[in-house]
Chains A and B, each alone.
Chain A
Amino acid sequence: MRLLTHNMLSSNIRGVVNGFPLRIEVGKVVEKNVEMNGDFLKNMFVKIDWKAFVEASQSMGYTELPEEADLSMLDSDEFLNRFHHALLELHLEEGALVCPETGRRFPVSKGIPNMLLHEDEV
């Protein structure tokens, strides 16, 4: 699971008011190189919740992102590289995503989050 995906996921357990963002419990992080696509990054930048993204990347062990960011920073290659790396190249292979309100763990196995709810959570 990449951080781009993480930034789109939320806990929809019944009764939870704000299930975003999910906390990351790291089991195993793997880095996979991916070719950079500037247009794609620019499109994604406006959709990303930056604060959640920075927090998530820190929990994955990457601390090179600025706490705040704006569109103008996309002109900097260095920023673009870091953004690209954190967004697309860090994979949570094993671990869990944790609901911020209930603490419920959604397991991540072989890079795939299992977001299925149990009967009593629906």
Chain B
Amino acid sequence: MSSLCCSSHTSLHHLQKNLYNRNGTITTTPFRSTSSSVKTTGSVSYNRVSAVNTREQEMVLEAGIEENKKKLQLGIAEFYDESSGIWENIWGDHMHHGFYDPDSTVSVSDHRLAQIRMIEKSLTFASLSEEASKWPKSVVDVGCGIGGSSRYLAKKYGASCVGITLSPVQAQRANALAAAQGLADKVSFQVADALEQPFPDNQFDLVWSMESGEHMPDKAKFVGELARVAAPGGTIIIVTWCHRDLRPDEESLQPWEKNLLKKICDSFYLPAWCSTADYVRLLETMSLQDIKSADWSPFVAPFWPAVIRSALTWKGFTSLLRSGLKTIKGALAMPLMIEGFKKGVIKFAIITCRKPEDVEGE
């Protein structure tokens, strides 16, 4: 009963700990009480760490986790340093999915409008007011890419927007685009970690995370930071890829599902996936209000075939060849995304909520 966890993950009894495992998924839902039996998933086995591991074993685990986290951060930064240029070249300055009519056939020329529609639909879903007096005045864009959302929101609301990214290349490009669009006064970009946001508490009227949650290795910490920096009465919007919700009788995804996700994780520098329900539960534990979520998978499904088609054009193909191995590896994972959506394993989710006006104990 004393088998050690492998170096890439640790106890599952506490959501704050790394929920990584070899297969790239979280295999237990939050707050489920740990059983005393040993569960095995493939070559991995784990048990109640607190009952069995010595302090030394725990320190080894901690060191392993920190190393993995550093590797992941570096991987993400380098992936985007390398890929940002080609992406912007073909798709423009928004790096997120477009919102489409299901079953439509999408071309590159439709994409930009669809990406803007995605932003607008998200704001509407979160019940942000159209009345100017109620507009957010300060916005943080968590995982800002080259700043497409920040610039859009700054223009729409006349707000001050701050974006954070792990990629210095992206931050540089984001600032340059802001200056070029006459928005240098309103938006600015920093290199920072979404899990350790360099802001005091209660700062932002709107906390925006558009397709960055997938990169966060510690979902609880990620959501905790979003909640911390939100101003009382402020809105949090998370648009992200999740895996399907587990059925009540399920402990984890099926092995074939985990396999599929793992391949995608390796290509896109993604840590463990969680479900939409997991996010909702996290927000509930932080006493956030008006929590809403939805599955928008049908509205983004047309996107990946379009990406593949663009990669197969002369421009797309030559750009890929010029970019680098990381980008190419990412591109090869595109059919996997299609498969994941088709088979209902991958969900494109929106989760929004509000921070209460009265904040006690801050």
Contact = CB atoms under 8 A, between A and B. Distances in A.
B323 interface: no
Interface residues of B, number: 32
Contacts of B184: 32, 34, 88
Contacts, number: 88
B188 A116 contact: no
Nearest to B192: A115
Given A40-B158, A117-B196, A34 B185 contact: yes
Contact of B191 (A20, A43, A112): A112
Given A5-B188, A32-B184, A116 B193 contact: yes
B186 A9 contact: no
A35 B179 CA distance: 12
A111 interface: yes
A11 B112 CA distance: 37
Interface in A103-121: 106, 110-117, 119
Nearest to A119: B66
A72 interface: no
Interface string A33-66: 0110101100110010000000000000000000
A8 interface: yes
B160 A44 contact: yes
Contact of A4 (B160, B168, B175, B189): B160
B196 A112 contact: no
A12 B185 contact: no
Nearest to A112: B171
B198 A9 contact: yes
B161 to A, nearest CB: 10
A40 B185 CA distance: 9
Given A114-B168, A116-B193, A4 B158 contact: no
A122 interface: yes
Mostly helix, strand, loop or mixed at chain B's interface?
mixed
A86 interface: no
Given A40-B158, A47-B138, A119-B66, A4 B196 contact: no
B198 A11 contact: yes
A2 B188 contact: yes
Nearest to A5: B188
B158 A10 contact: no
A5 B190 contact: yes
A35 B166 CA distance: 30
B137 interface: yes
Interface of A: 1-2, 4-5, 8-12, 19-20, 32, 34-35, 37, 39-40, 43-44, 47, 88, 106, 110-117, 119, 122
12 contacts: A4-B160, A8-B200, A10-B198, A10-B199, A12-B199, A113-B190, A114-B190, A114-B191, A115-B164, A115-B190, A115-B198, A116-B196
Interface of B: 66, 70, 73, 137-138, 158-160, 162, 164, 166, 168, 171-172, 175, 179, 182, 184-186, 188-193, 196-200, 203
Given A20-B200, A114-B190, 16 more contacts: A8-B162, A9-B198, A10-B198, A37-B158, A43-B160, A106-B198, A111-B175, A112-B172, A112-B191, A113-B190, A113-B192, A115-B190, A115-B191, A115-B196, A116-B166, A116-B191
